[in-house]
Chain A
Amino acid sequence: MRLPEGFPFTSRYRILKKRLHPITKEFGLTLYVLRKSTLAVVGAFLVTSFIFLAIFGSLLAPYDPYDVKIEERFIVPSKAHWFGTDKLGRDVLSRMMWGARYSIRAGLVVLALAVPTGVILGGIAGLFGGWRDEVIMRFTDVFLAFPSLILAMSFSAALGPSLFNAMIALSIVWWPMYTRLIRGQALSVRETAYVEAARSRGASNWYLVRRHILPNCLSPILVTLTLDMGWIITATAALSFLGFGAQPPIPEWGRMVSDGRIFMLQAWWVSVCPGLGIVMTVLGFNLLGDGIRDALDPKLRRVTEVKWKQRTFS
């Protein structure tokens, strides 16, 4: 694409900049607010290290996570084995480093399946209303009335217990919450004056969705996404713990907790360490989610905006 003459200073660019959504337009501000909060920084650090582990964990792991050495079973945490070894003499730390990827993959897959479904269904229900709304929401109610863990367990049992099927089962359980969220947002945005103005101008439904409804749903979705990552990681671990998710010898963290459970008395570290891993990860996502929520909260934003402007434009 050929840039217009005097590019960043043309009026067209300025219009383009104005048309961007506040979140993107004031991305710098958002980051600034986020950085101001210690807890959000801690959360971001935890999440980053978790993602780092998920990507590079297998390269950095000191031992082979599947290497069985019966004679080295239940070694107390030491310099050689930081988190000790489990009942088959496998290094717990190495297994945890390999295991991070399963948790993050579960989170991403579930969100990738559940969020679009929720957005489409909730968008249709909220935007069009009428019988479409009734049908979709009653359908959603059915899924919401279901005990989610039991639903996930029975889907998992129906599909055969494996990590992949647990993810599918969790996505089946997860989409109704997004449908609810998006419908609520769409309903409130639909009533605003600017949507009415756009409509009276003859804007199509698709235009409304693209330009008004989706951007306005962005911040609640972003917050929910971050918090839900933690939730999904816990839920996957819980399914694996009950035997409906990852099967041995996969080093999924929930599975590791459950494997070490009967040896709690002789070797607490086998269960405790992977559990701590889950806690730290979920804590990270919770802190980051809280931080993002505060950073996008217009009330809290206004206070910091002044400082930010003073800093940036002086």
Chain B
Amino acid sequence: MQLRNYILRRLLLLIPVILGVLVLVFIISYVIPADPARAWAGPRARPEQVEALRERYHLNDPFYLQIYYYLKSLILHFDLGLSATTGRPVLTDLKAFFPATFELAFCALLLAVFIGIPLGVISALKRNKVIDHFSRIVALAGVSTPLFWSALILQFFFYYKLGWLPAFGRSMVDIHRYTGFILLDSILNWNWSAFGDASIRLILPSVTLAFYTMGYLMRITRGSMLEVLESEYVVTAKAKGLPQRVVIYRHALKNAIIPPITVLGVNFGWLLAGTVLLETIFAWPGMGRYAAGSIVQVDLPAVVGYTLVVAIVMILSNLAVDIFYSIIDPRIRVGGKAR
């Protein structure tokens, strides 16, 4: 009950933040010297045609009225406007591109979580041993290497030099699309060669994308695990003669896992931002490339639409993290008063 109220409250909080995001984007678009009507009308349009478009899309109005019209069509018709670069409604574009990006970011997140957190735990348990040094070096390399550069290097080695992995594009196999997520669709189609192709193409981009987050998670996990291992209740548990396994899993890990999970929500946002760079380099047909392209083309409806989607995803992932807290740590009761 309490949890439901909390989720509802958080979802309501979405509204002002999204309004704010909208206002911000509209302010940016207002100062951009480019004229969207000209982009929509095409290069050979007559001035009166451009003017008519400008009138039709309320481009001569002040920006608070433009926001009003935008919101009105968004709420009444679920319409995000027309993209000048693709010539399709922005919502259709985003629907087409979202699965590719989500698949990439989610795979990267899984990789980062399932490598970064265990590595951090092992590193803390074997402090100053070889494995600790090794994983700390890997983590440092992860947080210090710019994404666009590691993407180029990995492409160079695994595609050009070794020829092991494909470096460009998403799987294009012809299967029935239930969801748009190729991995999921190929399982639903029971088509394992399609699944194999899709996952092989995912390897390079998702590993590159995961590299930073993995290093970051590993560092945070290691730090918090070290702190917990020195705490009194762990010492007590050890002194009681509990087996090491129990001490680590029951006592230490459950407490040490909180900080890395806290940053997960933020990290997912970084992953989404990272896709902008990665999709450009790996020719991945996702939202990030779409957004980068539309910024270059000053395709404002597309930029606004993309920003809205990402803002919503980011807020939802932070919410998911907060809910996950209360599952893992009974002391944290969401929505309740902090003790």
CB distance from B285 to the nearest CB of A (A): 17
Q: Is A122 an interface residue (CB 8 A)?
A: no
Closest 6 CB pairs of A and B: A142-B20, A275-B149, A283-B144, A149-B273, A282-B144, A145-B311
Residues in A whose Cβ lies below 8 Å from that of B31 = 158-159
- A244 to B291: give the CA distance in the assembly, Å: 13
Q: State whether A142 touches B140 (Cβ < 8 A).
A: no
Q: Is B69 an interface residue (CB 8 A)?
A: no
Q: Is A224 an interface residue (CB 8 A)?
A: no
Q: State whether B276 touches A154 (Cβ < 8 A).
A: no
Interface string of B241-270 (1 = CB under 8 A from A): 000000000000000000000000000010
CB distance from B215 to the nearest CB of A (A): 10
Q: Is A109 an interface residue (CB 8 A)?
A: no
Q: Which of A228-254 contact B (CB under 8 A)?
A: 230, 234, 237-238, 241-244, 254
- A312 to B156: give the CA distance in the assembly, Å: 53
Cβ-closest chain B residue relative to A283:
B144
Q: Is B328 an interface residue (CB 8 A)?
A: no
Interface string of B290-301 (1 = CB under 8 A from A): 011001101000
- A154 to B293: give the CA distance in the assembly, Å: 11
CB distance from A142 to the nearest CB of B (A): 3
Q: State whether B17 touches A264 (Cβ < 8 A).
A: no
Q: Is A139 an interface residue (CB 8 A)?
A: yes
Q: Is B307 an interface residue (CB 8 A)?
A: yes
Interface size range on B against A: 35 or more
CB distance from B216 to the nearest CB of A (A): 11
Contact of B277 among A138, A238, A271, A282 (CB under 8 A): A238
Q: Is A72 an interface residue (CB 8 A)?
A: no
- A159 to B29: give the CA distance in the assembly, Å: 11
Give A contacts to B, CB under 8 Å.
138-139, 141-143, 145-151, 153-155, 157-159, 230, 234, 237-238, 241-244, 254, 257-258, 261, 264-265, 268, 271-272, 275, 278-279, 282-283, 286-287
CB distance from B35 to the nearest CB of A (A): 14
Q: State whether B17 touches A141 (Cβ < 8 A).
A: yes
- A153 to B160: give the CA distance in the assembly, Å: 30
Contact of B292 among A139, A242, A261 (CB under 8 A): A242
Residues in B whose Cβ lies below 8 Å from that of A143 = 24
Contact of B149 among A141, A151, A230, A257 (CB under 8 A): A257
Residue pairs across A and B with Cβ atoms less than 8 A apart, 30 shown, are: A138-B16, A138-B20, A139-B20, A142-B17, A145-B20, A146-B310, A147-B307, A147-B311, A148-B273, A149-B273, A149-B276, A149-B277, A150-B273, A150-B276, A150-B307, A150-B310, A151-B307, A155-B28, A159-B31, A230-B144, A237-B148, A238-B147, A242-B276, A257-B149, A264-B155, A275-B153, A279-B149, A282-B144, A282-B145, A283-B144
- A230 to B18: give the CA distance in the assembly, Å: 30
